[in-house]
Structure 1
Amino acid sequence: MNKALAALLDLLDLEQIEEDIFRGVSRSAIVPRVFGGQVAAQALVAAGRTVPGDRLPHSLHAYFLRLGDPGAPIVYTVDRIRDGRSFTTRRVVAVQHGQPIFHLSASFQTYEEGLEHQAPMPPAPDPETLPTAAQMLPRYADHFLDSGVVDRMLEARAAVDLRYVDAPPYGSVGEPREPRSQVWFRTNGKLDGAIDAPLLHVCLATYVSDMTLLDSVLLAHGRGGWATGDVVGASLDHAMWFHRPFRADEWLLYDQESPSASGGRGLGQARIYTQDGRLAISVIQEGVVRVPR
C-alpha cells in the first residue's frame, strides 16, 4: 500500500465526537475546494457506522449544497430514519461553518437471494495495456491553464490507479466526440484487513465515482474542463445503486455517457463493471457546466 492510499484510508476513518455525530478532515484537492467524492464517501462512512455490520449500502442519493472549505473540519450528523427487518435507512447532513454543505440519504440491506439479470459489459481493452496517469498527463501539459496542473492532478489521484481508455476531455479540446468515456480504476494497493471492510470498498468506489462522470458531457462539445479553463463546473447531485459485491482494489470499468446538457447543467450516467463482467454499480450525476464569459 502506498502512502497516498494509506492517507485516503485515514481520511475515511472518521472521528466519532458524539453518538451519531462524526468529524472528518479534507485532503489536498485539484481545485481550492473540498472534492465532492470525498464528502460523499465520508458521509457514507458516517451512515455505515450506525448500521449493523451485516447490512451494506444498496443505494445512495445526495445533493451538493455549498462548496466545501478544505481548511476546515466537516461535521457529519446521522439521522436514524428507519431500522426494518431487511432494510435500514440513514440521512446524513455535512456541516461546515454552521451551514450544511452536503446532504445524503442511504439505504442498507441484508443480503438475500432474488431474481438475477444484468446489462452486458461493453467492450474495453485490458487495463494493464493502458497508460497510467503519470505516463498520460504530461502529454497534455501544454493544454492546461498552468504548469502546476499536472502535479496537482497526480497528487490528488495518487491513491487511485485510474486509466483512460481514450483521450480525456483535456486531450481533445476543440474536437467534439461521442458523449461517452471509459476508465478503468482500482486503488493503488491491496486493502486486506483494512478498517470497515467490506463497507470500505463501497465508500472508495463512491469516492472515485465523482472524478470523471461528467467527462462525457465535455467530450460532446470538445471542451477540456476546468484544467483548460474553457468550462466552469461543479457537482449538483449524485446517485448510486450497488448491485453486486466488488472490491475497490481490483480493476473496475467505469463506462460513462451523457444523454443531455442544457440550462447550464450536464447529466452523466454510468455503469461500473468488475473485470470479469459483473455489473456492480449504476451511477447518475448532474452538474453545473458553464462556459466562462
Structure 2
Amino acid sequence: MTQTTSTAVAELLTMLDLEKIEENIFRGRSPEVGWQRVFGGLVVAQALVASARTVEARAPHSLHGYFLLPGDPLAPIVYEVDRLRDGKSFTTRRCNAIQHGRAIFSLSASFQIAEQGLEHAVAMPDVPLPETLPSEAEMVEKFGAIMPDPIRRWFASDRPIETRPVDPSRYLRRDPGAPVQDVWLRAAGPLPDDPAIHRAVLAYLSDMTLLDTALIGHGHYVFDAKLQIASLDHALWFHRPFRADEWLLYVQDSPNSSGARGLTRGLLFSRDGRLIASSMQEGLMRPPPA
C-alpha cells in the first residue's frame, strides 16, 4: 500500500533540518503539541544530525547518550559539537544539547568509513506481518472503549511514526506479564532518499516503546501517572542499510529492573529479516513515596 504524505512526518523532517548558527553550533526546535517535556527520541535524533553535519563521507555506526534534564518544548535547543577525533577509519564527535544555559543531553557518536568484513546476525523471530495486524485507527475503533484514556489518545493522535504492536492486548490489560514486546514501526509517510535522514528517523523511533517494555513486567504503562518515568540513557548501533519509511520490526526485552530503574534491549529488523540496528536504554521507573 502506498503511503500518503503525513503532516506529522513533514513536521519531523523540518525539525531534523537544524539551523546552523556558527561553526559546530546548530539550533533545533520541538513540536508545539502541548507536551510537558521534549520527546527524548527527538533530542537523540537532532544531536545525531548536528554531529553528522561535521563529518564527511562517513556514516555513524554507534551513539551513546545521557539525558541530563527534561527538555523545555517552548524553547529552542542549541547543539554544540566537539570534534574529538578524525582518524583514518573512524571519526568521533561529542554533542551537548543546551537549553537555558544548561546541558539537557550529552551524546557521543562514532562514524566509520564503509568497510567489508566478517558478518553474522541473529535471525528475526517469526511474527505476524504488519498487514495482518490492526492499524492504529482500527485499534482505537475496536478497543478504544476499554483502553486507558492516555493510550487511546496516543493511538488516535497524528504522529510521525506509525506503530503496529504484534500483541495489541498489551494496551488493554493491567496485569503484569513477561517484559517483552514486538512492534512494527515505520515513518507515517515517504521520506527523502538521503540515508542520513533515515538514520535520524531511526534514532527518533528507537526511543519509542523501549521503556514501556520494562513496565510490562509490573503491570504499568509509560503514561502511568502513579510512576515518575523518564529515559536516563540511550545507545544505538547501526548495522546495515535500511529505509525508515518501510516496516521495521522492533524486538524488545527487559532483562532487569532494580533501583527504580529498568533496562531494556532492542533489535531492529527490516521486513526481509535483516538485522539493521540494535539499541539499549535504561529508564527511571520511580514509584511515589510511601
TMscore range, shorter length: over 0.9
Query: 1:80 maps to which residue?
Result: 83
1:223-238 map, 5 Å = 223-226=220-223, 228-238=224-234
Aligned-residue offset at 1:291: 2.2
Q: Can you list the C-alpha shifts for 1:155-203, whole angstroms capped at 9, x where unaligned?
A: 3x62111111113644221x2111101100111122234xxx1111111
Equivalent residue in structure 2 for 1:3, among 3, 7, 11: 7
CA contact (8 A) 1:169 1:215 kept: no
Matched, 1:253 2:249: yes
Equivalent residue in structure 2 for 1:22, among 23, 26, 30: 26
Aligned-residue offset at 1:79: 0.4
Aligned-residue offset at 1:144: 3.0
State the distance in 2 between where 1:133 and 1:30 align: 21
State the distance in 2 between where 1:216 and 1:152 align: 17
The count of residues paired between Structure 1 and Structure 2 equals 284
State the distance in 2 between where 1:98 and 1:168 align: 44
CA contact (8 A) 2:234 2:282 kept: yes
1:1-293 map, 5 Å = 1-28=5-32, 31-52=35-56, 54-137=57-140, 139-140=143-144, 142-144=146-148, 150-151=152-153, 154-155=156-157, 158-167=159-168, 169-173=170-174, 175-193=175-193, 197-226=194-223, 228-293=224-289
5+ residue gaps in structure 2? none
Structure 1 SS opposite 2:246: coil
Distance of aligned partners of 1:242 and 1:234 in 2 relative to their CA distance in 1, 3 Å threshold: same
CA contact (8 A) 1:63 1:102 kept: yes
State the distance in 1 between where 2:145 and 2:211 align: 21
Q: Can you list the C-alpha shifts for 1:222-258, whole angstroms capped at 9, x where unaligned?
A: 11232x4233210000001111111101110000000
TM-score by length of 1: 0.92
Of all paired residues, the percent bearing the same amino acid is 53
**Equivalent AA in structure 1 for residue 211 of structure 2:** L
State the distance in 1 between where 2:19 and 2:134 align: 37
Distance of aligned partners of 1:96 and 1:83 in 2 relative to their CA distance in 1, 3 Å threshold: same
State the distance in 2 between where 1:142 and 1:179 align: 22
State the distance in 2 between where 1:140 and 1:33 align: 26
CA contact (8 A) 1:184 1:254 kept: yes
CA contact (8 A) 1:58 1:109 kept: yes
**Equivalent AA in structure 2 for residue 107 of structure 1:** S
Structure 2 SS opposite 1:38: helix
Q: Can you list the C-alpha shifts for 1:118-167, whole angstroms capped at 9, x where unaligned?
A: 11111111011111222224624554356xx6445543x62111111113
